[in-house]
Amino acid sequence: MSNRPWAGQLLALPALWLGLASAAHAQAAPTETRRYAIEVAGLRVGTMTATRQPQPGTTEVISTLTSDVQVTFLFYHLKIYYKVTNRVRGGQLLLSTVEAHTNQGDFSSRTEWLGDHYAIRADQYKHHYQATEKHPITYTVTDMFFGEPGSHATAFAEYFGDYFTVSRAADGTYRAHRDGREDEYHYANGQLVTLIKKNPLKNFVIRLLP
């Protein structure tokens, strides 16, 4: 019998170090963050931030898209804050929530996978929609902030609870269409640098910050 009880502890240390290193590696998955300025007629009126965080030890990813805008059109003051939170596992959307706070009231949307279908409900300003969707959702509007759509022909619009159709122009610009509205996404080296949200009054231009 060893008269050095600490010997076994020393022998166990390499395994402990390996375990700690493995845990540290699992926790070290970086959060991707994109920050944008929101402009109207050349004036900065707000900010938009997109984040994507892989969850350690799982195939889950949490993505958020937060927008905060305050702008005055003639005699009308517009205030909009909204936050999209998406939980994705293995590339499939499991849960999306949208909270919106405006000078017209508070609103919300929710899309949840229930095992064989999504329950979708959007209660936004002048937009109310409820539906089910049986096909897995694997690409969303929030995903468009982290790379070009490539071959994706649609993007799920978490705010509205339905889809944009996505098409690519000859210059590499992507256009997203839904119910008569159009957004333009401009990429450089695979990164979204400018998003133009077209509006009958004034376009919102969202520019990547350095």
Q: What is the pLDDT of residue 23?
A: 46
Q: Is 141 helix (H, G, I), strand (E, B) or coil?
A: coil
Strand partners, 131: 120
- What pLDDT does residue 172 have? 77
- For the segment 75-98, the average pLDDT, to the nearest whole number, is 94
Question: Checking DSSP bridges between strand 118-124 and strand 105-113, what pairing results, if any?
Answer: antiparallel
| Long-range pairs, 201-207, Cβ under 8 A, ≥24 | 201/73, 202/40, 202/41, 202/73, 203/40, 204/38, 204/39, 204/40, 204/69, 205/38, 205/39, 205/40, 206/36, 206/37, 206/38, 206/39, 206/48, 207/36, 207/37, 207/39
Model pLDDT for residues 154-177, shown as the tens digit of each residue: 999 999 999 999 999 878 799 999
Q: What is the pLDDT of residues 102-134, one digit of tens each?
A: 999 999 999 999 999 999 999 999 999 999 999
Query: What's the confidence (pLDDT) of residue 27?
Result: 54
Residue 96: pLDDT over 60: yes
Question: Is residue 11's pLDDT more than 90?
Answer: no
Domain ranges of the chain: 31-208
- Per the prediction, the chain carries an average pLDDT of 88
Q: Report the pLDDT value the prediction gives residue 200, as an integer from 0 to 100.
A: 83
Confidence of residue 77 (pLDDT cuts 50, 70, 90): confident
